[in-house]
Amino acid sequence: MALWLTRSRTVVLQSLKQKHAFWAAAAPLRSSSSSSSSSSSSTVPFPCNSSSPNLFWVNCRFKSTLAMNQLDSLPFSDSDDEQALDFPGGKVTYTSEMTFIPESQEKRVPCYRVLDDNGDLLIGSHLHQMSKEVARKIYNNMVTLQVMDTVFYEAQRQGRLTFYLTSSGEEAINIASAAALTPDDVILAQYREPGVLLWRGFTLQEFTDQLYGNKGDYGKGRQMAIHYGSKKLNYVTISSPLATQLPQAVGIAYSLKMDKKDACAVAYTGDGASSEGDFHAGLNFAAVLEAPVVFICRNNGWAISTNISEQFRSDGIVVKGQAYGIRSIRVDGNDALAVYNAISTAREMAITEQRPILVEALTYRVGHHSTSDDSTKYRPLEEIEYWKTTRNPVNRFRNWIVKNGWWSDKEETELRSSIKKQVMHTIQVGEKTEKPPVADLFSDVYDVTPSNLREQEKQLREDMIKYPQDYPSDVPL
């Protein structure tokens, strides 16, 4: 209502001003008409003070300049360009020119990086100083993740594991981002961030126990392989459906804000998740609540077999942040130093300014989507080989620490050999470890198990005894 009254007032004032201009233009008629007039009348009919038509223009004008001065001083303009609509969120200026916002900018958003493909520091790079100890740990973890992926993948191919999914080509995003965070930051990962757990202290045996779903698995064998989780390490258990963790991360971040914690929530996702409703709901939710959450999107070019050209028409993921009012940056996901610097800064902004941050990391999924996929069916081998060699994140970071004198070929050989032996040992242990009992299928949901679940458990036990050939022999009753 107030907006309508404001606009109506503007229209009336503009009309009055236009009439005044018309009267002023007609004023010269007065002098020529009055000189030829021979008489005047003392009786003046409505609406003028004279019976002479020519004197209408004279006597109907403002008798004082005060009213006209007041009219001229009113804050409106004949041009819409100088007006603004006081709308929720701030004033919006008007324009008489019809212009559509273009679907994209002329230039793509640049990608922040610190190291070139050979591991040389770029001149003028803006970065946080990294100590020798941190650099060596980052590289150690990158190699461990690489070796761990290789051994577990081969074990699945041998039939020793049911399923596996590697992080090949994305080791820098995993480890460098984890190094930039603190143990108090809550992680909500997708399924290609085991390196974050590795950095926080998850052991190789803990990884293996989860893959086998044995008694050492914190999920008690109820989760699909590679769906890790650790309450102790602030790593929320992975959920397969894409983007569900984003709105959850905002809720966690808001609780950290309410408790005034010096921490943030960090949600990892892939480019394919941007086609899910939860992705957009999560970003908008975070912006509106001003929640301290860092969204890290691994744009690796492929959502299983769907190329990003079939996923969206925007300039990647980074531009989506601005649409929701979120500060964003694009970073070279194969540059561990750049990732470390970007996430360090993003975390600081999220906590000190109490705001969400979106980080798009450009990388490439060198391996197949999972052991259920053959990526050579939908992408050329040359493309895979290029990213595996020329743009390898592990090799690039290794070159940098070697040039700093922080790593040697001897250490490289010893590390890779040691990690492979350790992983092989965990597999041997994991295979022999007993599975969780049948009772664990029905626990941890209700305080008091309802009658229908008790009946199901009873029926299952009876069937396992009656038809033992149809059930795993290593699951105790």
What's the whole-number average pLDDT of the chain?
87
3-state helix, strand, coil in the chain (%, to 5): 50, 10, 40
pLDDT tens digits for range 352-370: 999 999 999 999 999 999 9
305 is catalytic: no
Which residue in the list 170, 206, 360, 369 is annotated as catalytic? 369
Tokens representing 321 are 């942040």
Active site residue 369: yes
The rounded distance, in Å, linking the Cα atoms of 426 and 217 is 13
Alpha carbon of residue 288 to chain centroid: 14
Amino acid 128: pLDDT: 82
Of 15, 37, 125, 154, the catalytic one is 154
Strand partners, 327: 357
Q: Does residue 154 have an active-site annotation?
A: yes
Summarize the confidence of residues 290-317 as an average pLDDT.
96
Average pLDDT of the segment spanning 306-328: 96
pLDDT of residue 296 exceeding 70, the answer is: yes
For the ranges 96-105, 359-368, 373-382, 414-423, the lowest mean pLDDT is seen at 96-105
Q: What is the pTM of this model?
A: 0.82
* Pairing verdict, β 90-93 and 357-362: unpaired
Catalytic residue among 328, 344, 370, 375: 370
Instruction: Provide the 3-class DSSP secondary structure of residue 407.
Output: coil
Q: Is 370 a catalytic residue?
A: yes
Residue tagged active-site, from 34, 240, 255, 417: 240
User: Among 296, 298, 288, 281, which residue's Cα sits nearest to residue 355?
Assistant: 288
What average pLDDT does this structure show over 286-296? 98
Per-residue pLDDT, 219: 96
Cα separation of 336 and 115, whole Å? 8
Please identify which residue in the block is written with the tokens 């008790």. Answer: 454
Are 366 and 384 spatial neighbours (Cβ–Cβ below 8 Å)? yes
Q: How confident is the model at residue 461 (pLDDT cuts 50, 70, 90)?
A: very high
The predicted-structure confidence for 68-118, as pLDDT tens digits, reads as follows 454 444 444 455 556 899 999 899 999 999 999 999 888 999 999 999 999
Report how far residue 344's alpha carbon sits from residue 294's, in angstroms, rounded to the nearest whole number. Answer: 10
- A 10 A CB-CB count for 255 gives 13
